[in-house]
Amino acid sequence: MRLYFLLIQLFLCAVLMSQSTTITGMVVDEDGQGVSFASVGVLNGKRGVLADEEGAFVLNELPAGQVTLAVSALGFAAERLVVELEEGTARNLNITLFAAGETIDEIVVTGTMKAVSRTNSPVPVEVFTAEFFRANPTPSVFESLQNVNGVRPQLNCSVCNTGDIHINGLEGPYTMVLIDGMPIVSGLSTVYGLTGIPQSLIARTEVVKGPASTLYGSEAVGGLINVITKNPGDAPTFSADVMASGWGELNADLGFKATVGGKAHALVGVNYFRYQDPQDNNNDGFTDLTLQDRISVFNKWSFERQEGRVFTLAGRYVYEDRFGGQLGWDRASHRGGDEVYGESIYTNRWETFGTYQLPTKERVMFQFSANGHDQNSVYGETIYNATQYVGFGQLTWSKELFGSHDLLLGASYRYTWYDDNTPVTAGFGDEADINLPSAVHLPGAFVQDEIRLGRQDVLLLGVRYDHNSRHGNILTPRLNYKWNSKSLKDIVRLSIGNGYRVANVFTEDHAALSGAREVIFEDELLPETSWNANLNYTKRVFTRSGTVINLAGSVFYTFFNNRILPDYETNTNAIIYANLDGSAVSQGISLSSDISFSKGANLNLGLTVQDVYTDENGIRERQLLTESVSGVWRLSAPLLRYQMKFDYTGNVYGPMDLPLLGELDDRPAQSPWFSTQNLQLTKTFLNGMEVYGGVKNLLNYTPPANSIARAFDPFDRNVSFGADGQALVTPENPRALTFDPTYVYASNQGRRFFVGWRWSLK
């Protein structure tokens, strides 16, 4: 077949030699195998062809002179090359394409704070590239994580659709979200800080499951999500991604790159999201999806220095206007009032962070960040205004010793200033009328030693010491062990670690603000502590047909002391917060597979089975709003002949225990099995432009229409309460319910179609 095709090429060359210039050749991969149906075209020109099944192509009728060829194929990184052509001549080229990033051994930094190949990392790190998330494009990082095994974006309110990220069943405050390794999204921003990161500027996302407090301190109890942005020097000169849905949502990502003075590279990204079309398909009188108007501006600089030393500086600003509530709500007349119920949140947030390598012979890095978060919000009549400032600095020194020790020493300081209009920052006793903002100083130091025991064994030991100005000394050790086979096809990792967390329920738990419930603290909340063990096994299989199969399995166990849990059931008109007088456990097993077929198709499957419960006074209870079984999948199949790709993504969740308002509450005590599934078709053109579209929530699944209790009486005007604060049975309220939007486990947004366009200029 190939010989026949080359004879045709030679014949065409002879015919066209005297008339025009021709390029013939082969498009091959790293192993020299032909890349089927690769596109080869002249950049910014009208000439382009598809290679045949074996990668051979003929590109004729080209003008003399210098032309730039653009070569691309699904599953491979695009390539460009400049070719000099002479009138009436023919050129023969062999063009090599390299596999896309997700098929190679990625470099990760999250597990050990040092760049290391994913295979060699003693800490199991999961890496998700921009290509992975494009299979189901979303306007925010929060939504994009819905297809990651063991990670679930959880909605916390039916009205304003705020949420957090659960890892292995642990709630959002136990997950630390980093941007370029900096603890940016925490505290007050755990609810509203996961949106507005321009997706087009994200290079990859790294996920670590299990405690990482030894390196990252408080909040890194359940795991880490590190959003790593593109290096300005490697980013495209211009990128754009615009998407709209049938519900009236509009999301736009724009990115620009520039070089200043030859040694400074700047990257600017803008994200804009708008949804202003209130819908009430379940007829409960409330918006099914919150109205949002959000803009985010991101700017990152990298500077070239002597001996390749690192210096990066970045900043981000986010403004969001979010509303959910009863239809007919008017901002000027009803915000903060008791006539029409609405939850309206204005968020102003700025961040700056960077890394500077000191000009010393040793590798000494200084990392720094600062952020300010201002929130002006109302939840019906409840007004919550809060401001938070966080400053962070960290100095690390890494050194190889004795040929087998890789030492990392670090010292950090974190300052958190917080003020709001709740009792949290009010005085006590004679000073009850005095506002006392919270100021927490958190100096710390850590040491980590990665010991190479042999060619196949690595032991990682670490310990961190922190001094919290409120709670005193905190010690968090860790141990990681990795064994791999000589072929690196089999890897076993064992992780044991300690975590801690200092909680502020008003900044972390939206339920403390919404609805008509009173917030009650039984005692001063003590820091939570936990011990975690995780056993991870990965295996890579190569088949004769060229298919690569990556298998992974993990068994995890986390034991908590002083766990802080909200009690919704003792008093239906209150949320009671207290340290658990007992223990809490999160345990389970996680299985996943990543199959890359030789023709470019890719299949990801994931399953997590978990048991999350509390044990207090001999009574064992499952954690509310936590599924026992979940599954995710992603199928990406290229249609090479047409330069198109088909994506099918989805997830499925098992039953969750739901917060009822009492024995008479007629809503189901458990959620049903439910699944969200999405289809997408992407068309790639010769100039790299892509057009995509599809359908989200294909099965049109939404929760029951009565998810909001007494939606018709959000101010509890027709509810009578007893002396103990419990709602009473009356003719107007036969089931003793109160208005409550916390009974939520899935989005009310049903099936919708979407279309999008993306393009990047190298």
- At 717, the pLDDT band (50, 70, 90 cuts) reads very high
Residue 646 pLDDT more than 70? Answer: yes
pLDDT tens per residue, range 512-567 = 444 445 666 666 667 778 888 999 999 998 887 778 899 999 999 999 887 776 66
**SS3 for 467?**
strand
Q: Is position 209 within any domain?
A: no
Residue 392 pLDDT more than 50? Answer: yes
CA dihedral (76, 82, 88, 93) positive or negative: negative
Two structure tokens written together for 112:
């050990």
Task: Give which of 129, 132, 175, 133 is closest to 150, Cα–Cα.
Answer: 175
Q: Judge residue 350's burial from the number of C-beta atoms within 10 Å of its C-beta, 0-12 exposed, 13-18 middle, 19 or more buried.
A: middle
Share of the chain above pLDDT 90, in %: 45
The CA distance from 511 to 569, in Å, is 13
| Residues 6 or more apart in contact with residue 138 via CB below 8 angstroms | 144, 146, 199
Task: Give which of 588, 578, 591 is closest to 609, Cα–Cα.
Answer: 588
The reply to whether 221 and 93 lie within a common domain is: no
Which of 99, 119, 135 marks a domain boundary? 99
What was the pLDDT predicted at 102? 43
What was the pLDDT predicted at 598? 76
Which of 99, 131, 164 marks a domain boundary? 99
The CA distance from 488 to 540, in Å, is 8
The reply to whether 82 and 231 lie within a common domain is: no
Which CATH number belongs to the domain containing residue 238 in this structure?
2.40.170.20
Separation in Å, CA 171 to CA 91, 498, 593, 627: 61, 17, 25, 12
CA dihedral (482, 485, 486, 488) positive or negative: negative
Q: Which helix (H) or strand (E) holds 9?
A: helix 2-16
Label residue 161 left, alpha or beta by phi (over 0 means left) and psi (-120 to 50 means alpha): left
The CA distance from 70 to 450, in Å, is 44
Two structure tokens written together for 45:
């020109």
Q: Is position 711 within any domain?
A: yes
The CA distance from 229 to 205, in Å, is 9
Q: Is position 568 within any domain?
A: yes
Structural domain for 337, as ranges: 107-150+217-761
Instruction: Give the DSSP letter of residue 433.
Output: T
Q: Write the single-letter amino acid at 110.
A: T
Q: Is position 175 within any domain?
A: no
Q: State how many domains the chain has.
A: 2
Contact call for residues 497 and 530 (beta carbons, < 8 A): no
What was the pLDDT predicted at 11? 46
CA 216 to chain centre: 18
The reply to whether 252 and 270 lie within a common domain is: yes
What was the pLDDT predicted at 31? 62
The reply to whether 598 and 633 lie within a common domain is: yes
The CA distance from 604 to 147, in Å, is 10
The reply to whether 446 and 591 lie within a common domain is: yes
Q: Is position 197 within any domain?
A: no
Which of 62, 82, 99 marks a domain boundary? 99
Residue 430 pLDDT more than 80? Answer: no
Q: What backbone torsions phi and psi does residue 201 show, to the nearest 5 degrees?
A: -100, 0
The reply to whether 131 and 8 lie within a common domain is: no
pLDDT tens per residue, range 321-356 = 999 999 999 999 999 999 999 999 999 999 999 999
Lowest-confidence region among 59-63, 210-214, 284-288, 614-618: 210-214
| Residues 6 or more apart in contact with residue 462 via CB below 8 angstroms | 214, 215, 446, 447, 448, 449, 477, 478, 479
Contact call for residues 285 and 268 (beta carbons, < 8 A): no
The CA distance from 203 to 196, in Å, is 16
The CA distance from 760 to 257, in Å, is 11
First to last CA, the chain: 35
Q: Is position 203 within any domain?
A: no
pLDDT tens per residue, range 215-234 = 776 667 778 888 888 888 77
pLDDT tens per residue, range 125-161 = 888 888 899 999 998 888 888 999 999 988 888 898 8
Q: Is position 574 within any domain?
A: yes
Two structure tokens written together for 328:
């007919």
Share of the chain above pLDDT 70, in %: 84
The reply to whether 629 and 746 lie within a common domain is: yes
| Residues 6 or more apart in contact with residue 433 via CB below 8 angstroms | 426, 427
The reply to whether 53 and 138 lie within a common domain is: no
Two structure tokens written together for 102:
């997700």
The CA distance from 392 to 367, in Å, is 8
- Residue 29 CB coordination number (10 Å): 18
The reply to whether 65 and 113 lie within a common domain is: no
Contact call for residues 599 and 630 (beta carbons, < 8 A): no
Separation in Å, CA 76 to CA 51, 102, 103, 128, 466: 14, 10, 9, 16, 46
- At 724, the pLDDT band (50, 70, 90 cuts) reads confident
The reply to whether 114 and 141 lie within a common domain is: yes
Q: Is position 92 within any domain?
A: yes
The reply to whether 548 and 582 lie within a common domain is: yes
The CA distance from 496 to 481, in Å, is 9
What was the pLDDT predicted at 510? 46
Which CATH number belongs to the domain containing residue 19 in this structure?
2.60.40.1120
The reply to whether 599 and 649 lie within a common domain is: yes
